[in-house]
């Protein structure tokens, strides 16, 4: 069934979620300039959920055009705090700035997933989770960055909730899988409906 399902993402977390759920799939990550698209849409006044949805759709469509018979999953996640969109940090220095900005505040994780087939989007979902970081001392941030290592560079919030990152929070509200970057239960429901996975 590997040819029937494709993940259009380079995210190791999304791939692990699908693998752990027992899905047989291949990975084909599109090359798109996400930052340029975000900046363009922000200039046009787009909302964070529309940006996440557009990026997820673009990824799914780009790969679907190459594999027109397959079901292609595209996904994107955007972090919003105080009206500002955060992107993945380029290095640990930027990760520290992100954590200092998020410390003691609530932020939204906007996660979008789009499934395409035959070059057209046939399903979409946008979910929002709300997380509140506790007040982080400079010493804690230093220690956290040292222990977490380069894992902090792989997520918009500089954390993996399923690991050391859980220690950053005082409150978490929302679907666990949405926080990890893919609304997995909804995706599975769709795939089951279309007999991509057993029902």
Each residue of 74-118: pLDDT tens digit?
A: 999 999 999 999 988 999 999 999 999 999 999 999 999 999 999
For residue 179, the surrounding DSSP H or E stretch is helix 176-180
pLDDT at 1 over 60: no
Q: Which fold has domain 2-193?
A: Maf protein (3.90.950)
Backbone angles phi, psi at 177, to 5 degrees: -70, -35
Q: What is the predicted pLDDT for the residue at 198?
A: 84
Residue 76 falls in the annotated catalytic set: yes
Reported as a single tens digit per residue, the pLDDT across 108-158 is: 999 999 999 999 999 999 999 999 999 999 999 999 999 999 989 988 999
pLDDT on residue 24? 94
Q: Residue 99 CB: number of other CB atoms within 10 A? A: 22
Determine the pLDDT at residue 191.
Answer: 96
Report pLDDT digits (tens) over 188-198: 999 999 998 88
Catalytic residue among 76, 108, 151, 175: 76
* Tens digit of each residue's pLDDT (9 = 90 or more) over 176-189: 999 999 999 999 99
CA atoms 1, 112, 42, 120: torsion sign: positive
pLDDT value of residue 2: 39
Asked whether the predicted pLDDT for residue 70 surpasses 50, the reply is yes
């Amino acid at each position: 069934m590997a040819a029937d399902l494709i993940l259009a993402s380079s995210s190791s977390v999304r791939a692990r979620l699908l693998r752990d759920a027992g899905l047989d799939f291949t990975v084909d990550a599109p090359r798109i300039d996400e930052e340029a698209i975000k900046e363009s849409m922000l200039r046009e006044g787009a909302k964070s959920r529309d940006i996440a949805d557009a990026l997820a759709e673009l990824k799914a469509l780009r790969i679907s055009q190459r594999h027109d018979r397959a079901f292609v999953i595209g996904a994107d996640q955007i972090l919003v705090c105080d009206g500002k969109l955060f992107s993945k940090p380029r290095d640990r220095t930027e990760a520290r700035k992100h954590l200092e900005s998020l410390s003691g505040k609530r932020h939204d994780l906007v996660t979008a997933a789009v499934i395409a087939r035959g070059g057209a989007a046939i399903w979409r979902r946008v979910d929002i989770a709300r997380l509140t970081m506790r007040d982080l001392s400079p010493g804690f941030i230093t220690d956290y960055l040292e222990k977490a290592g380069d894992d902090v560079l792989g997520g918009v919030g500089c954390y993996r909730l399923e690991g050391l990152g859980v220690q950053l929070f005082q409150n978490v509200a929302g679907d666990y899988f949405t926080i990890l970057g893919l609304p997995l239960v909804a995706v599975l429901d769709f795939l089951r409906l279309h007999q991509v996975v057993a029902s």
